[in-house]
Each structure stands twice: as structure tokens, then as C-alpha cells.
Amino acid sequence: MLPSRGALRPVDPRRVRITGGFWAQRQAVNGTATIQHCRTWLDRLGWTENFATTGTGTVRRRGREFSDSEVYKHVEAMCWESARPGGTNYDAQLAELTERIAKTQAPDGYLHTAFGRPGQPERYSDLNFGHELYCAGHLIQAGVAAARTGRAPGLLDVARRAADHVCTAFAETDAGVCGHPEIETALVELFRVTGEQRYLDQAARFVQRRGHRSLPEHEFGWRYFQDAVPVRDGEVFHGHAVRALYLAAGATDVAVETGDDALLATIVRQFDRTLARRTYITGGMGSRHLDESFGDDFVLPPDRAYSETCAGVATVMLAHRLLLATGDLRYGDIVDRVLHNVIATAVADDGQAFFYANTLHQRTLTEAVPADREQLRFGGGPRAPWFEVSCCLNNVARLVASLGTYLVAEDDRGVQLHQYMPMTVEAAGQTLTVDTDYPAGGAVVVTAERPCTVTVRVPAWAHDTERTRTSDAPARLELPVKPRWTFPDPRVDAVRGCAAVEVGPVVMCVESVDQEDGVTLDDLQVDTSVAPEATAVKGRVIRPVEHDWPFQSRSDTPQGSDPIVVPLVPYHRWARRGPSTMRIWLPVATA
């Protein structure tokens, strides 16, 4: 079941128990409230009911063309949750849904509730937007999770039949690709679980086939569908962010399993350039609302940031693959950043409301969303219980339930620790224990039953000359978790003249509910000559001159107030205390 090669070996998440701290709490809420919340909505909207409860019956189908995938991601989340140490058991729900799904599968293995049956469009009649292979991919990922966790008996067989159908239907060179990548990584994972070569071959074929503009032309352009440029010829991720990242994850899997070092190198190059030029300070990716896509290099507007939650999930998936394949710890850094600033931000404390997009600057007061109300608009706004396009909820649920996947790895020398939280890990033939209150504090202590070589990741922000420390357990790492000013590349026009505060991997923000009366966030300036504290910085309030036209022949030097204290909170805590405005990037006082 493991990748056949790579610098590091993954550790089965069932061997990782998060024992306390921030993520243990999040896992507990995810495993109960979020998963149950998702099921309630899947039922309410009829997306589970689309899967026939009898073998022959058909029901009036509800939901968009990708709603099947939500059921599959929900199933995947329940597999991981049921299997994780301390998790909630969903075996009964898994059995019920597995039965429904299996009964809906056509005799030839095809499985999608919106196509191919009487009164529905023909199979594969809309490769741009039909999401048929995308849904098949999520079904396969659910089947793989079932196999890896020993849950949901029978689901792997359904997934195999679906995969067999895909391999047959899309064997021909001109058979096309799906508008939304996902099937690629799913097929490689299924190959790893089953050893069946044809799944790997088909995944490689899909990766190879992309980028030749075989999909019909659309106003969003071929870049949106990842069909404008062959994967090997890309320079940087572009188009729809989630599609780009899923495709890159699949290409990485193909490269690892086929020994295609050139393919791996091109993904590394594209991801590295994306990190250097197209990623928000939060780790969020994708700046455009219109087509949910990456912007051009250095176009990272905080106030119209898209930074979709699903892109965060996809970044973790891709970065982990590249970390295992290359051993480069920068990919651990981005996982750390995304977890603490995108995933942590997206989910309400009760696990039942979510950001779809994660803006970095909220100028007008957020609105409250009723708990029983689906949001039609998914591009912005407050955390909401559900969206018409509701991909992010189940995506977060499966990520958090399987979080143990992303924390540690092994190689021939011993154990690598990539993410820091209180946990026990069964690795290197014994149980290791990690004690830390990271990211609140920087001390990480690893103890072992027997002597054992432990390598730890030193984040880039620690400004250490060495990115790793290797020692025998018990090992102690002391990271300089203290507030620091952070400044943008001068080419990021949108935040020129601004600074942000970070504490370890956590990006801080100012939120209006913390400020004194009369302080408007957009009138704040901060004094970067004074070191920041974790809870506040020094600044002042300017009083802009009001003109009837905002462009003037003199540069206004607005009158500044006496110095004030500007309270900060972690970005992931924002919008939890009623309507508020917020900003991460703060103009630096210059006069």
C-alpha cells in the first residue's frame, strides 16, 4: 500500500494518536459534530437519497452534478474517523451507505446518479462540467480509505468496478479527460492498494492526455480545466486552483510509481514557483473569485482573496506527497501554514459552519447566517452551515479525520517529525511520545521507549541555518515562537507598504471587535520599529482627508493620532464573536 519509492515513507494514520492541544480538540469536534452535520444536510437535500435504496427504483434526482462526490467524501471521512485512535465509530452508517452506493452501480461498473439513466443526459456527454470522472475519483478514494482502514466492507469492490469501467471507457487516446481532475490520484492510490497495474497505466494516460485542449472551448478558457498546457510543460500552477492542485497530486503519484523523475521535477518546479509567487501569507491559494483560479504572479489581493478551503485541503495533499517524494522540508512548512491559517480558519468552533472562501481582509461587517440556511453564494461572506456548492465541508472532514497521515514519516534512519502537536506515534518498532504546546510555545520534546533516531523539521521562519535536527530520543527542539513582523515581496502590489504579524506558523490579524471605539481598521497604521507582541502592536489612527475625488495632486499626509495599542488575534479566530471587520496586512506608518 505504500508508495513504491520516495525519500520518506508515510506512517499509517492509525498509528498516530493526537493526544491533546488544538488539533485533538478539532478532531473531536470534526469526528462528531461535523460529520453528523454533513450527514444531516446530505439527507435534507436528497443527495444521499439519489443513491437508490432498491436495486431497480429511480428517484427524482436532486443536487448539482457533483453531489455524488459529497456522499463519497463523507464516507471517506467516516472511514478515517472510525479507524483513528479515539475516533467515533461509524460502521453502521458506512454499511448503510455502502449498500446504497453498491445498488446504484450499473452492471458494467458505471456509477453516477445524474447521467445515463432514463431522462438523464448520456454518460460522458459533458466532460467539461459533468464531473463524472471526478465523482468516480472520490468513490475510489473512499474505497481506498475503506481498504486502508478495514472499514466499509464491500466498498473497495464497488470502487474497483467503477475503476475498471473508467479504464475501459477511457482507454482510447482520444477518449478525453474530465474537466475536474481527481481521478488521476485516485487511480494511483487504488493501484497501491490493489497492485492492479491497469489503474496506474490509466492514471498515467490521463496525466499525459491533459493540456491538449481536447475539451470543448468555454468562456473560462482551457486553463480553468487544466487543459491548456501539457502537465510537463507547465511553469507554474494556473487556472482553477483546486483542479490544478488535484492534478499535480495525481501527477506526483504517477511520477513516483512509474519512476518518472522528469515528471516529478516539473511538478516540483511548478509548485515551488507557485509558493514563491502565487500563495497568500496564510498558505491560501487561488485569488480570483470569477473562476476560482490562481492569479498572475504576485497578484494576491487580501480584500478579494478567494483562498478556497478546498484549495487548502488540496495543498496539504500535494505538499505531503512532495515531502515524501523529495524529503524537502519546505513542504512541511506549507502544510503547517495551511493547517493553522486556512483549515483552522474555515471551521466554526462548533464544527457546523464553514468558510468556503477565506478572505484576508474584510472591509464591511460580516453578516450572521442562520444555522438552517443554505448559502447560494459561495464566493464570500461568513461561515455558513452549507452551500449550494458544498465541496469544502466534507473535504475538511476527511482531512481532519485523517490528520495523522501528515504528521510523521519514516526512513531507514528512523523517524521524521514534521508537524508538532501532543501525540503518540507507533514507529520504528516502538511508541514515541511528543509533548508540546506548539504553536503557543516552541518547546517540542520527543521521548521513546528505546533509543531511536529522530529528525525534526525546523520551519523556515526559525531562521536556523539547518532545516533539520537529528538526535537520539529523548530529543528536545526549541523553536523561536515569538511575534515577528513580516513584509511582502515588493512585487505584491496589493500590500505594498504593509506589514503583518506572525507568531510561529500562525498569522495574526486585527479584528474590529477588539479595537477601541471609533477605530476603523482601514484607518490604522502600525509602527514596525517596535517589536510586536503576541496580542498587540503599536500603531496610530489616521484621519484621511475626505475628498469628492480620491486621486489628488498632493500626496495626503493624513493627521495621525497619538500612539495607540492595536490588539491582535490569530487570523483563525476571526469572525467568531459577531459581525466584524478584519485585516491581516497593516499599513506601516511612514511619517
> Interface residues for a second copy in 505-544 (CB under 8 A)?
522-523, 528, 542, 544
Q: Which residue is associated with the grid cell 473562476?
A: 291
- Grid cell in block for residue 84: 483513528
If one counts every other C-beta atom within 10 angstroms of the C-beta of residue 49, the result is: 19
Exactly one of 5, 363, 450, 577 binds a second copy (CB under 8 A); that residue is 363
Nearest CB to a second copy, comparing residues 346 and 499 = 499
Q: How far is the CB of 539 from a second copy (least distance, A)?
A: 14
Q: How far is the CB of 262 from a second copy (least distance, A)?
A: 21
What SS3 state is found at 149?
helix
Where in 420-439 is the site for a second copy (CB under 8 A)? none
Are 387 and 399 in contact, with CB atoms under 8 Å apart?
Answer: no
* Alpha-carbon gap, residue 394 to 76, rounded angstroms: 9
Nearest CB to a second copy, comparing residues 68 and 333 = 333
CA distances from 70 to 50, 141, 151, 368, 586 (A): 12, 12, 18, 25, 38
What SS3 state is found at 154?
coil
Q: How far is the CB of 536 from a second copy (least distance, A)?
A: 19
Are 278 and 294 in contact, with CB atoms under 8 Å apart?
Answer: yes
Q: How far is the CB of 170 from a second copy (least distance, A)?
A: 26
Nearest CB to a second copy, comparing residues 143 and 283 = 283
What is the 8-class DSSP label of residue 442? -
Nearest CB to a second copy, comparing residues 150 and 480 = 480
Exactly one of 22, 41, 237, 378 binds a second copy (CB under 8 A); that residue is 378
Where in 388-407 is the site for a second copy (CB under 8 A)? 388
Q: How far is the CB of 328 from a second copy (least distance, A)?
A: 10
Nearest CB to a second copy, comparing residues 465 and 551 = 551
Are 104 and 113 in contact, with CB atoms under 8 Å apart?
Answer: yes
Please choose, from the candidates 102, 97, 95, 67, the residue with its C-alpha nearest in 3D space to the C-alpha of residue 393. Answer: 67
Nearest CB to a second copy, comparing residues 56 and 590 = 590
* Alpha-carbon gap, residue 32 to 22, rounded angstroms: 16
**Residue 356: CB partners within 8 Å, gap ≥ 6?**
308, 309, 375, 378, 379, 384, 387, 389, 392
Where in 322-361 is the site for a second copy (CB under 8 A)? 330, 333, 361
Nearest CB to a second copy, comparing residues 51 and 574 = 574
Nearest CB to a second copy, comparing residues 309 and 528 = 528
Q: Please identify, among the stretches 12-20, 90-98, 247-255, 269-277, the one whose residues bind a second copy according to the rule CB under 8 A.
A: 269-277
Q: Please identify, among the stretches 82-90, 93-101, 376-384, 444-452, the one whose residues bind a second copy according to the rule CB under 8 A.
A: 376-384
Where in 212-241 is the site for a second copy (CB under 8 A)? 217-221
Q: Please identify, among the stretches 186-194, 247-255, 261-269, 371-379, the one whose residues bind a second copy according to the rule CB under 8 A.
A: 371-379
* Alpha-carbon gap, residue 459 to 432, rounded angstroms: 21
* Alpha-carbon gap, residue 201 to 419, rounded angstroms: 33
Are 94 and 82 in contact, with CB atoms under 8 Å apart?
Answer: yes
Q: Does 62 bind a second copy (CB under 8 A)?
A: no
Where in 280-319 is the site for a second copy (CB under 8 A)? 281, 288-290, 295-304
- Grid cell in block for residue 78: 467516516
* Alpha-carbon gap, residue 183 to 39, rounded angstroms: 24
Nearest CB to a second copy, comparing residues 488 and 570 = 488
Q: How far is the CB of 60 from a second copy (least distance, A)?
A: 21
Reported as type and span, the H/E element at residue 23 is helix 21-29
Nearest CB to a second copy, comparing residues 182 and 336 = 336
Q: How far is the CB of 417 from a second copy (least distance, A)?
A: 21
Are 102 and 154 in contact, with CB atoms under 8 Å apart?
Answer: yes
* Alpha-carbon gap, residue 386 to 373, rounded angstroms: 7
Amino acid identity for residue 590 in this structure: T
* Alpha-carbon gap, residue 488 to 490, rounded angstroms: 6
Please choose, from the candidates 418, 454, 210, the residue with its C-alpha nearest in 3D space to the C-alpha of residue 322. Answer: 418
Nearest CB to a second copy, comparing residues 41 and 331 = 331
Exactly one of 59, 265, 276, 531 binds a second copy (CB under 8 A); that residue is 276
* Alpha-carbon gap, residue 499 to 209, rounded angstroms: 43
- Grid cell in block for residue 71: 456522499
* Alpha-carbon gap, residue 505 to 422, rounded angstroms: 16
Q: List the beta bridge partners of residue 537.
A: 566
* Alpha-carbon gap, residue 177 to 209, rounded angstroms: 7
Q: How far is the CB of 113 from a second copy (least distance, A)?
A: 23
Where in 540-569 is the site for a second copy (CB under 8 A)? 542, 544, 546-556, 558
Counting residues that bind a second copy (by CB under 8 A) gives 73
* Alpha-carbon gap, residue 10 to 255, rounded angstroms: 17
- Grid cell in block for residue 557: 499626509
Q: How far is the CB of 492 from a second copy (least distance, A)?
A: 6
Q: Please identify, among the stretches 87-95, 135-143, 200-208, 274-282, the one whose residues bind a second copy according to the rule CB under 8 A.
A: 274-282
Q: How far is the CB of 276 from a second copy (least distance, A)?
A: 5
Nearest CB to a second copy, comparing residues 75 and 316 = 316
Nearest CB to a second copy, comparing residues 60 and 547 = 547
Within 13 Å of residue 297, how many CA atoms lie on the same side as its CB?
A: 11
Q: How far is the CB of 50 from a second copy (least distance, A)?
A: 22
Cis amide bond preceding 439, omega within 30:
yes
Q: How far is the CB of 305 from a second copy (least distance, A)?
A: 11
Nearest CB to a second copy, comparing residues 474 and 497 = 497
Exactly one of 105, 279, 352, 416 binds a second copy (CB under 8 A); that residue is 279
Q: How far is the CB of 363 from a second copy (least distance, A)?
A: 5
Q: How far is the CB of 215 from a second copy (least distance, A)?
A: 13
Where in 443-502 is the site for a second copy (CB under 8 A)? 460-461, 463, 484-500
What is the 8-class DSSP label of residue 501? E
Nearest CB to a second copy, comparing residues 272 and 437 = 272
Q: How far is the CB of 365 from a second copy (least distance, A)?
A: 11
